Structure formats: C-alpha cells, structure tokens
C-alpha cells in the first residue's frame, strides 16, 4: 500500500432537483436543474487553529520563539497531551521531566505537544511556523487519540489526518526520519477502542517499509495478564475520574524505554540507557521488523512469503527462526541443511516455510501483522521460536524466559485469530551449545518448563519437547546432529521429523 494514499472521505453524488412550479390552466413542464453537492471536508485533514483558547494561542507563540531560538534542534516530539505532558514535574503521578531530561533533552529536543490537539490542529501548527527553519535528525509523532475521542471522528477520517501530517512532515523536513507511534490503548469506550485498533492496523500496513518512516506500535507494554494495566495511567486517579488515556510517571518512562532502541537507530546515536537495563517492558511483544543483519535479505524473504501464499493453500505452515529457515521447502533458502528429512516429513504436501534467520518473537509478530499468515488455513502450524530472544545484542536485549513465553503465547493468539481451525505443534526450544554448562542451556531449560506449564491444557495445541533426543548420555550435543551447536544437520532434522510424524502430520 502506498504510504501516501489518501482514502476518499466523501461520495460523489448528484442532487435531485424539485419541480419548479406548475402553471395554472395549462400543461406544465417540469424544470429540473442538477448541481453537485459538495460534502463537508474531512475535519481531520482541515487545518484548524484553537485561538479561542488563550493558553493555546500563548503556547503556539512560545513554540515559535523556541523554534527561532533553537534552529539546531535535532529531535522534535510532536503530538497532543501525552507529548505535552513532558513539561510537567508533578510527583508522584505526573513527574515527566526526569524522563525528558534523560532521553530527549541531551538530543537537543523540542516539545511540540499541545493538549487536546487533533490532526487538524497539528496540521495548522505545522503550516504556521512550528517547524520552519529546522532540520532535525528525527521526529517522534504521536497523534490521533483526540480525533477518535474528543472530536468523535471515524477511523478513516483519522487515518487520513495522520497520513496528511506524515506527508507534510516529509515535505517540510526532507532530511528527517519519522518515528510514527501507534495510538496508545485506552478503555474509554468500545467504539473508540475499535477505531484506534483499526487506525493502528492501517498505519502498520501503510508504513511497514517506508524508508523515511518507522512505525512502532508499543501498545503491548500497557497490558498485564491480557488486560489494560490502568495502574500506569494517571486519569483514573484524578478527582474527576476518567478512563485510562494518559500514561503516568511510570507509564511514560516505560514508553520512552520502548521506543528508545528504534529512536537511537533513526538518530544514528547510542541508546540513552543500556538495552540490558530496559526491563520494565516486554520487548518480546513489541512488533518490529528485522533487528539483525544476516546473510540473506530479510525483506525480500518477507515478500516471497506474501507471494507464495497467493499461489498455494498450505496444509502445513512452519514458523520460526533460522532453525526452521534452513531446513528446506519454499520459499527457498540460500542454505539448506535437511532436505532428506524435509522430504520424509512432508513429501508432496503443500507447505510454507515461514522461518527467518535471527528472528525473535517480536519479528514474527511484525510479519504476522504484515500479512504473512493472511487467508491461509493450514491443518498444522509448527512453531519453533525463542532461542534468539534469549540472546542479547546491540539491537535488542535478551528476553527473560517469562517474556519469551508471553511472546510465544501472543504469536499463537494471532495465528488462532486468523485460522482458528489450525492445530499448533509448539516446539520446545532446542538445546544449544556443546556442553551441559553452555551459557544458553539454563535459560532454554527454564523457558521450556514455563512453556510446558503455559500450554499444558491449551485447546488446539500440542507441546513437543524433543530436546533430550539431540543430547548424548553425558548431556553433550553431538556435532553430527548440530555441527555449530545450534542448527541441526540432516540427521538432526530427522529427529524433528520423527516427532512431527508421531504427532500426526502425514506426508
């Protein structure tokens, strides 16, 4: 989808014209005239000031002065009250300046957030000087919650408004990278929740591979045990009790941590905090595209997956990382380690291999959202993921075993939503490292124990732990089965094949 595509928000129609009159004592002729009706302009794309509110006019004037005083600003945070809140220092619930001072002030940031603004208000501000003369490295854009909230605009209207803001920023700031955030979750009303979810799906599709725009949906960090964690929003604790909209001191800090790895990459600098210290959020649940460079083109494989599912209706879909990627099957991989085992497991069955080298749970969640499991309804889904989550790099911290389980559970939820008739064969993470005391062995074993507990009674799921079959009696991992200590040889894949055949897959 073209990221600059604008959905039409009005229908072309013709007005039926009334009979102009009837002449007495004569035959009458009905006179008709046609002229088009011009539908109201979508308010989400119509620039609109708020000068009737004195504080808004004063803030706009102050922003213009700040822009003139800081032409070297390297980061702009643009949005509504959630962004505007960074100027508050009111403990305990609204003490946001420490987060601003740690993550954004050192990057020469300007705060362009206005409480209550819609996309229409923001468009007016951008067109009236608030980014004039600036050339920042990056913009963080969070807008739209007031469109579906205070302004009661539809999802399509809001989508068009956000698209218009992005387009204007790209035009006025041609050298700037844009970090576009999905609308944060709320519990204000069912219709608003539905609209916001639809908008985020639209943004994910439109900006999935835009070279100038990185889309990030961090909504998962605000949930706990499947429910919105209202304890990290300050609205419910206000005297005039309201639904959850604004993250509190803790929630805003979590939000800054969640976007930090992506923001640092866009700005070309180092993360303001160590990725290993970002433990308040479960990064395994935040959908992101490729994190690690590998020996293949990650995006090209993604497109190959999309094309393949147009041509076949698979009976089996395998989802995973390089262990799945390098087995065999279509789309073809540059490295194939188990062709004989693959043929024995699947024969002539229509199968899609959705394994991607170096993938973590968060990468699979991105791929699912971008259509890799769209309109396919396999009898079997084989999921083998998690080993890379337990490994930290400069691009992503290591996940805890508990986080890996949550990431896998979310993958299954997304798959089940798309194909409820599919049966999941969930693989325990394979052993890794040549010796029993190899660093990855302990976290893998703990993760597998937690997976067994989590999915023991899950309808539609068969949990398969075949790790012991790869190991010698002394716990070592034979090179004949995994030459590099991670990826099976054809002999290693034969062990996996045995388990799949016994579970019920018939070639």
**pLDDT one-digit tens code per residue, 112-156:** 999 999 999 999 999 999 999 999 999 999 999 999 999 999 999
pLDDT confidence of residue 177:
98
- Which residue has 């006019």 as its token pair? 57
Which residue would you say has higher pLDDT here, 25 or 109? 109
Q: Do domains 54-281 and 298-503 have the same CATH topology?
A: yes
CB 234 within 8 Å of CB 246: yes
Band of residue 37 on the pLDDT scale cut at 50, 70, 90: low
Residue 500 CA: distances (Å) to CA of 116, 137, 138, 297, 494: 55, 50, 48, 29, 10
- Angle formed at CA 442 by CA 440 and CA 443, multiple of 5 degrees: 70
pLDDT confidence of residue 39:
65
Q: Is 390 exposed, middle or buried (0-12, 13-18, 19+ CB in 10 A)?
A: buried
pLDDT confidence of residue 35:
58
Name the CA radius of gyration of the chain, rounded: 27
pLDDT confidence of residue 25:
29
pLDDT confidence of residue 332:
95
Per residue in 146-197, pLDDT (tens digit) is 999 999 999 999 999 999 999 999 999 999 999 999 999 999 999 999 999 9
| CATH architecture of the domain with range 298-503 | 3-Layer(aba) Sandwich (3.40)
What does the CA dihedral 44, 48, 52, 54 come to, rounded to 10 degrees? 100
Q: In the structure encoding, which two tokens stand for residue 99, read together?
A: 């987060």
Q: Quick count: other Cβ atoms within 10 Å of Cβ 388?
A: 27
The yes-or-no verdict on residue 329 having pLDDT over 50 is yes
The yes-or-no verdict on residue 4 having pLDDT over 70 is no
Q: In the structure encoding, which two tokens stand for residue 212, read together?
A: 């100038």
Q: In the structure encoding, which two tokens stand for residue 105, read together?
A: 């002030």
Query: 10-14, 461-465, 484-488: which range is least confident on average?
Result: 10-14
The yes-or-no verdict on residue 11 having pLDDT over 90 is no
CB 391 within 8 Å of CB 378: no
Per residue in 443-456, pLDDT (tens digit) is 999 999 999 999 99
- Which residue has 């993958």 as its token pair? 411
Band of residue 16 on the pLDDT scale cut at 50, 70, 90: very low
Average pLDDT, the chain: 92
Q: In the structure encoding, which two tokens stand for residue 331, read together?
A: 């789309």
What is the phi-psi region of residue 108: left when phi exceeds 0, alpha when psi lies from -120 to 50, beta otherwise? left
Distance CA 45, CA 242 (A): 28
pTM, two decimals, is 0.88
Which residue would you say has higher pLDDT here, 4 or 440? 440
Band of residue 36 on the pLDDT scale cut at 50, 70, 90: low
Closest by CA position to 495, among listed 507, 484, 481: 481
Q: Break the chain into its structural domains and give their ranges.
A: 54-281, 298-503
Q: Is 97 exposed, middle or buried (0-12, 13-18, 19+ CB in 10 A)?
A: middle
pLDDT confidence of residue 240:
85
Q: What CATH topology corresponds to 54-281? A: Rossmann fold (3.40.50)
């Amino acid at each position: 989808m073209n990221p600059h595509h604008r959905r039409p928000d009005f229908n072309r129609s013709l007005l039926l014209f009334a009979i102009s009159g009837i002449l007495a004592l004569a035959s009458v002729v009905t006179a008709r005239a046609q002229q088009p009706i011009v539908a109201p302009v979508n308010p989400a794309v119509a620039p609109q000031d708020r000068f009737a509110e004195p504080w808004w006019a004063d803030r706009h004037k102050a922003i213009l002065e700040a822009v003139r005083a800081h032409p070297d600003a390297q980061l702009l945070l643009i949005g509504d009250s959630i962004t505007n809140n960074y100027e508050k220092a009111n403990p305990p619930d609204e003490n946001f300046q420490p987060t601003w001072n740690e993550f954004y002030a050192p990057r020469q940031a300007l705060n362009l957030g206005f409480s209550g603004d819609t996309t229409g208000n923001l468009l007016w501000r951008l067109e009236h000087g608030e980014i004039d003369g600036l050339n920042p490295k990056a913009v963080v854009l969070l807008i739209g919650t007031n469109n579906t909230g205070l302004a009661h605009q539809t999802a399509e209207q809001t989508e068009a408004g956000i698209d218009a803001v992005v387009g204007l920023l790209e035009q006025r700031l041609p050298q700037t990278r844009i970090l576009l955030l999905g609308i944060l979750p709320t519990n204000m009303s069912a219709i608003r929740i539905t609209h916001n979810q639809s908008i985020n799906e639209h943004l994910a599709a439109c900006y999935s591979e835009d070279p100038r725009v990185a889309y990030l949906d961090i909504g998962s960090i605000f949930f706990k045990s499947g429910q919105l964690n209202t304890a990290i929003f300050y609205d419910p604790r206000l005297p005039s009790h309201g639904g959850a909209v604004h993250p509190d001191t803790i929630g805003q800090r979590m939000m800054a941590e969640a976007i930090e790895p992506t923001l640092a990459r866009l700005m070309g600098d180092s993360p303001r905090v160590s990725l290993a210290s970002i433990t308040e959020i479960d990064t395994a649940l935040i959908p992101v595209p490729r994190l690690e460079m590998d020996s293949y083109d990650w995006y090209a494989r993604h497109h190959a997956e999309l094309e393949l599912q147009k041509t076949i209706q698979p009976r089996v879909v395998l989802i995973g990382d390089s262990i799945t990627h390098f087995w065999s099957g279509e789309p073809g991989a540059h490295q194939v380690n188990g062709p004989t085992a693959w043929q024995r497991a699947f024969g002539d069955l229509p199968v899609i291999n959705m394994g991607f080298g170096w993938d973590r749970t968060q990468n699979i969640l991105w791929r699912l959202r971008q259509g890799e499991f769209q309109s396919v309804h396999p009898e079997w889904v084989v999921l083998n993921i998690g080993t890379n989550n337990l490994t930290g790099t400069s691009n992503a911290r290591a996940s805890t075993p508990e986080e890996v389980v949550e990431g896998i559970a979310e993958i299954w939820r997304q798959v089940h939503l798309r194909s409820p008739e599919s049966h999941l064969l969930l693989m325990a993470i394979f052993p890794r490292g040549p010796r029993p005391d190899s660093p990855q062995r302990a976290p893998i074993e703990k993760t597998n124990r937690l997976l067994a507990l989590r999915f023991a009674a899950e309808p539609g799921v068969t949990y398969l732990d075949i790790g012991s079959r790869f190991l010698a009696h002394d716990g070592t991992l034979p090179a004949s089965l995994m030459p590099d200590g991670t990826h099976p040889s054809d002999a290693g894949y034969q062990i996996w094949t045995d388990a799949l055949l016994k579970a019920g897959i018939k070639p």
